[in-house]
Structure 1
Amino acid sequence: MHYLRLLRRPRHVAPSPGILHVELVVTITTDLGDSFLCPSDAISLRASVEVGSAAYALSPSPQLQWAPGQRVVKPRLALPPVAVSAWALGQVVRVCIKTANDALSAKSLDSILESATDPNASGLVMPLCVVLQGKGDASGGEYTTRRLRWRRHADAWTCLDIDEEIGESIARHVWDAGVVAVAALAAGAHGSLQSTTAQHPLMQSVMQVLDGAGPGLNILELGCGVGILGLGLGAIISRPCTLLMTDVDQAAGACTRSNLVRAEPSAAKLSYEMLDWEVARRGQFGPQVRHRPWHLIMLSDCTYNADALPALVGTLTALSAANSRQTHGGHGFITRVLVAMKPRHASERAFFHLMAAQGWKALAETLVFQLPEIGRESGSVEMHLFEKEP
C-alpha cells in the first residue's frame, strides 16, 4: 500500500483580506517511506476542505497530479469563503487529499480488505487529512490524520481516526500490517458469515479468545506505535474489556496519547504504558502490565528488526510466566499471542525459530493477505496466532 504524506506543516498565505491559500508539501510513499509511488501513468489527486460536518471540493490545482518518477508535489490551495471565515474564528478546518479515482483510495477498511483478498485488485493509496491551526498560528497542524471508515452493520458506518506526525519519521506512522489486521478483525467481528476472512480458522480462533474470556477480558498490545491496532480493535470490539497499548516512548509518546484522548467512546477501556522489551524480557513490567493477566497479547509490524527479536520473544515468554502467577499458579491458563506482520526480509523468520525454542505453538494456520502495490510487485501481510501453556 502507498500513503499520501505531508513532509512539513501546512503554510498559510493570505494575499488579501478574506483570501486564504494553503501551501502543502506532499509525497506518496510505501509505509516505511523507502520507495516512492511510481505509477505507469499520472494519478490525479483531489483536495477538499471540511468545516464541521460539511465538505467542500477545492478547485483542481495543476500540482495535484502524481506523475511517474515524481517525489513531491507542492499544491497551493485556495480555500472557499466559508472555510476562511471558520479559520479566522478559530474553528476546526481540515484539508483532505485523496486519489481522484475512488478505486485507488484506501478510504475504508472494507476497501482495504477487498484489495487484500482480490487477486485482480490494484494497489491502494491511503488518503490524509490535516487540521489547519487558527489564525494566530501560521505553522499549520502538528499531525495528519488517517480516517478509516468501517461498517459496523449493514447500514451503519463508523469512523476510525488515527493521527500521525508530520514528517519523515517512520516510527509515528501507520504501517501496512496494522492496517490490514484491523480490517481483518473488523470482518471477523462484524463481517458477513460468508466472508472468507471471517471463516478462516485463525480468525475464528481469535474471536473465540475474545468471546470466551468471561466478563474480564484483558488485551495487551506490544509495540503499538501510533496505536492503529489497539485503537482499531477497541473500536471494533463490542464487549467490555481492558486494552492496554505499550511501546517505548521514542516510538509512540505524544502522538499515541493524542490518539487515546481523541478515541471515540467504546466498550473498551483504553490506556497506554511505556514498555521496553529489553527490561520486560527479565520479567520487569510497569504497574498496569503487572496488574492483571492478559487473555490476548497482540502486535503488528514488530518483526522487521531482527536485532530486537530476542527481546520481543523474551518479553512474550515473560508475560506468559506472569500470567501463570496471576491465575492461581497457572492452572488451565493458556497465553495467546496474535502477530500481524508484513515480511520484508529473510532475517524475520528467526522470530518463528525463537518462538518455537521457547515453547510457543501455532494455534491455527497462518492467515495470509496479498497486498498489491501500484507500480511494484505485490507484498503480503500474515497473521499468526500462538499459544503457550503454563
Structure 2
Amino acid sequence: MYHVRFLKVPYSKCLQHSQKSDSSKRSSTKLYSGKPVTARKPNDGLKSSSASPCRISFVVTLTTDLGESFFYGNATLSVNLIARRQSSSKAIDVTRTNVQWKTGMRALPIDLEVSVRQIDRIMKNGRMDVRFYVHVAPSTDNKYQNGNDICAHTTGDPLPALLPVTSMGFWFSGSEKPCALKDTIQHAIKYDGANYRYVVRDIPIGTTTLKLLEETGESIARHLWDSGILLCNFLMASKQNNDVFMRQLTGSSKQMNVLELGSGCGTVGLTLSKVFRQSHIVLTDLESARNVCERNIALNCTRSGSGANGQIEFSIFNWDSSKNTAEENAKVFDAKWDLVIASDCTYNVDSFDMLTDVLLRVVSQRTKLLLVHKERHGSEARVFDLLKEKNKLQSQWRQQLEPASARSTADILVRMGSMNQ
C-alpha cells in the first residue's frame, strides 16, 4: 500500500484581519512552526465584510509505509475541506477539489481557497466553536496500473491502494499584526496544543473502523505500517470465520494474557482488544510512542481499566532491558503470556539479537509467538534462524497476508515438541 502523507500540515496564507479585539479571549498556543504565539480562542470574529479568499495551503506526498519509495504512477486525489461545530457531529462540506499526482513527483503542494465570508458564516460570525479538517483521499476515478493495484484483504472488501489522511482539527482567528501593505497574514490557522504534529487515519478493520492518530514527522515508531494493517484485517476475518489459523493461535483459551512488542500507534493491540474481548492486553514500546498509543487507546477503546471484560494498556519497554526500570522489566518478564505478537519489528538487522533475547525470555511452553513482517530484505530471515538456534523455536504455521504485493507474512512460532505438528 501507499500512504497519503502531509509533508506540511494545513496553514493559512491569506486571511482578512478582524479589527475586533478582546484581550480576555487571548491564550497561548502553538502553530505549525512550533513557535509559541499569542492567539485568540476559536470564537474570534473574522472580517466578513470582505469576500477576499482565505488560502489554505499544505503539501502532501505518496510513499510506502516506511517512506523508502514514492508512488510511481499517476493518481487523482480528492481534497475536501470540511467543518464540524463542537455542538454537532454533522460534517459541513465547505469545498472540494481534485488534484493530480504525476509520475516522478516527490511532493505535491495544494492550495484550497474559501472566502472569509463563508468561513465566518459557518462560524456564525464568531459565535460558534468550529473545527475545520482537510481530508485527502484517492479519487474513485483512479485506475491503478503497473503494480499499484487496489489491495484486497481476506474479507473481500477493498483496502485503498492509497491510504487516505485527514488533518487534525484547526480553527481560524484574526492576527495581532495585520499586514498593512498586503492582504496576507501568516499563521491565521490555530491548532489545539501540539495537534499540528498529528493526522487522523480511518482504517477499515473487518466490519469496523479504527480511528488512529499518526505523527506527521519522520519517526518510525509513530507511523502506521502495512503489515500491522493487514494483520488486523486477517485476525478479524479469522475470528469471524473461526478458521484453523485462529484455532491454532488461541487453542482452548478464551481469556488470554497478550503482549505486543513494538506497538507503535497501537493498531494491532487495539484490534486484539476487539478479537479477544475478555483478555488482558499490554502494548509496549519506547517512551516516544507513549503519547500517540495512549491517545489511540482512548479514541477506540472504553476498557482501558481493569474489569470483567478485559483490559488494554500501554507500558514503556526497551528491548535493551538495561535501560528499563525494574518495574518496566517486571511488567514484561514476570508475567505469563499466552500470546506474544511483534509486527514489523524485523526491518533493522542491528536489533535482532536484542529482539530475539526478549522474545525467548517472554515465551514459555504455554506461549504462542506471532511474528508478522514485510519482507523488505533477505536478511530478515535471520530472526527465525536465531530463534531456532537459541531455543529451538520453529514456525508451526505460516500465512501469506493479502495483498501478495505487500509481501507481508505471519508466522506462528512455538517451542519444538510443545505442540503436535
TM-score of the aligned structures, taking structure 2 as reference length: 0.72
Residue equivalent to 1:350: 382
SS at match of 2:134: strand
Q: CA deviation at 1:275?
A: 1.0
Q: CA deviation at 1:123?
A: 7.0
Q: Summarize the Cα distance change of 1:117–1:311 in structure 2 as closer, same or farther, 3 Å threshold.
A: farther
Q: CA deviation at 1:233?
A: 1.9
Residue equivalent to 1:7: 7
Q: Percent identity?
A: 24
Question: Conserved in 1, the CA contact under 8 Å of 2:226 and 2:406?
Answer: no
1:38 to 65, 69, 72: 72
Partners of 2:125 and 2:6 in 1: how far apart? 20
Residue equivalent to 1:237: 275
Equivalent runs, 1:5-84 vs 2, <5 Å: 5-13=5-13, 15-16=15-16, 17-18=47-48, 20-39=54-73, 41-51=74-84, 52-57=88-93, 59-61=95-97, 64-78=99-113, 81=119, 84=122
Report whether the alignment pairs 1:138 with 2:189: yes
Report whether the alignment pairs 1:163 with 2:230: no
Aligned residue type for 2:201: R
Q: CA deviation at 1:241?
A: 1.6
Question: Conserved in 2, the CA contact under 8 Å of 1:220 and 1:297?
Answer: yes
Report whether the alignment pairs 1:204 with 2:247: yes
SS at match of 1:240: coil
Q: CA deviation at 1:230?
A: 0.8
Q: Summarize the Cα distance change of 1:301–1:50 in structure 2 as closer, same or farther, 3 Å threshold.
A: farther
Report whether the alignment pairs 1:225 with 2:264: yes
Equivalent runs, 1:214-293 vs 2, <5 Å: 214-215=254-255, 217-234=256-273, 236-237=274-275, 239-250=277-288, 252-266=289-303, 267-279=309-321, 285-290=328-333, 292-293=335-336
Name whichever structure is richer in helix by fraction. Answer: 1
Q: CA deviation at 1:7?
A: 1.2
Q: Summarize the Cα distance change of 1:71–1:286 in structure 2 as closer, same or farther, 3 Å threshold.
A: same
Query: 1:217-265: per-residue Cα shift (whole Å, max 9, x none)?
Result: 211100111111112222x225322111111224x13222222232332
Question: Conserved in 2, the CA contact under 8 Å of 1:360 and 1:386?
Answer: no
Aligned length: 347
Q: Summarize the Cα distance change of 1:151–1:223 in structure 2 as closer, same or farther, 3 Å threshold.
A: closer
Report whether the alignment pairs 1:147 with 2:180: no
Partners of 1:122 and 1:87 in 2: how far apart? 41
TM-score of the aligned structures, taking structure 1 as reference length: 0.78
RMSD of aligned residue pairs (Cα, Å) = 3.4
Question: Conserved in 2, the CA contact under 8 Å of 1:58 and 1:77?
Answer: no
Q: Summarize the Cα distance change of 1:94–1:282 in structure 2 as closer, same or farther, 3 Å threshold.
A: closer
Runs of at least 5 residues in structure 2 that lack an aligned partner in the other structure: 17-46, 145-149, 174-187, 304-308
Q: Summarize the Cα distance change of 1:102–1:131 in structure 2 as closer, same or farther, 3 Å threshold.
A: farther
Query: 1:319-349: per-residue Cα shift (whole Å, max 9, x none)?
Result: 12xx5xxxxxxxxx42111111001111111
Q: CA deviation at 1:151?
A: 4.4
Partners of 1:83 and 1:341 in 2: how far apart? 50
Partners of 1:129 and 1:304 in 2: how far apart? 27
Aligned residue type for 2:331: Q
Aligned residue type for 1:45: S
Partners of 2:76 and 2:346 in 1: how far apart? 33
Partners of 1:24 and 1:219 in 2: how far apart? 40
Partners of 2:291 and 2:403 in 1: how far apart? 30
Aligned residue type for 1:28: L
Partners of 1:81 and 1:306 in 2: how far apart? 51
Runs of at least 5 residues in structure 1 that lack an aligned partner in the other structure: 106-110, 153-157, 324-332, 373-377
Q: CA deviation at 1:170?
A: 3.0
Partners of 1:352 and 1:337 in 2: how far apart? 11
Higher alpha-carbon deviation: 268-277 or 296-305: 268-277
